Amino acid sequence: MKMATITAAMVKELREMTDAAMMECKKALVEAEGDMEKAVDVLRTRGLAAVAKKAGRATNEGTVMALVSDDAKVGALVELNCETDFVGMNDKFKAFAEKIARAAIAAKPADLEALKAAELEGETVEAIVTECIHIMGENTQLTRFAVLEGGVVASYIHMGGKMGVLVSFDVDGIDASSAEFAQYGRDVAMQVAAVNPISVSREDVPADVVEHEMGIYKAQAAESGKPEAIQEKIATGRMEKFYKEQCLTEQEFVKDSDQTIASYTAAVAKQLGGSIKVTGFKRFTLGETA
pLDDT for residue 102 is more than 60: yes
Q: What are all long-range contacts of 123-129, with beta carbons under 8 Å and residues at least 24 apart?
A: 125/100, 128/96, 128/99, 128/100, 128/103, 129/80, 129/96, 129/100
> Are 65 and 143 in the same domain?
yes
Q: Are residues 99 and 47 in the same domain?
A: no
- Beta strands 123-124; 119-120: pairing state: antiparallel
Q: Is residue 118 part of a domain?
A: yes
- Select from 93, 122, 149 the last residue of a domain: 149
Supply the pLDDT for residue 51. Answer: 42
Arithmetic mean of pLDDT, 28-57: 73
* pLDDT tens readout for residues 70-79: 999 999 999 9
What per-residue confidence (pLDDT) applies to 254?
97
In the chain, the number of structural domains is: 2
What's residue 52's pLDDT?
Answer: 47
- pLDDT at position 2 is 57
Task: Indicate the pTM of the whole model.
Answer: 0.78
Output the CA angle 77-138-288, nearest 5 degrees: 40
Q: How far apart are CA 22 and CA 13, in angstroms?
A: 10
On whether both 49 and 127 belong to a single domain, the answer is no
Strands (E), 52-188: 61-68, 74-82, 119-120, 123-124, 141-149, 152-158, 163-172
Coil, helix or strand at residue 277:
strand
Res 217: pLDDT: 87
Residues 104, 76 share a domain: yes
Assess if residue 215 is contained within a domain. no
Instruction: Assess contact for 144 and 127: CB atoms under 8 A.
Output: no
Instruction: Identify the CATH number of the domain in which residue 127 sits.
Output: 3.30.479.20
| Domain-located, residue 41 | yes
CATH of the domain at 41: 1.10.8.10
- Give, to the nearest 10 degrees, the angle between helix 207-222 and helix 228-246: 140
Same-domain pairing of 95 and 35: no
pLDDT at 145: 98
**50 and 66 part of one domain:** no
Q: How confident is the model at residue 44, as a pLDDT? A: 75
Q: What integer pLDDT is reported at residue 3 of this predicted model?
A: 65
Which range marks the domain in which residue 68 is found? 61-149
| Residue 103 pLDDT > 50 | yes
**In terms of domains, do 46 and 90 share one?**
no
Give the chain's mean pLDDT: 91
pLDDT of 55 over the 50 cut: no
Domain identity same for 43 and 105 = no
Tell me the average pLDDT across 176-196. Answer: 97
- What is the percent of the chain where pLDDT is above 90? 78
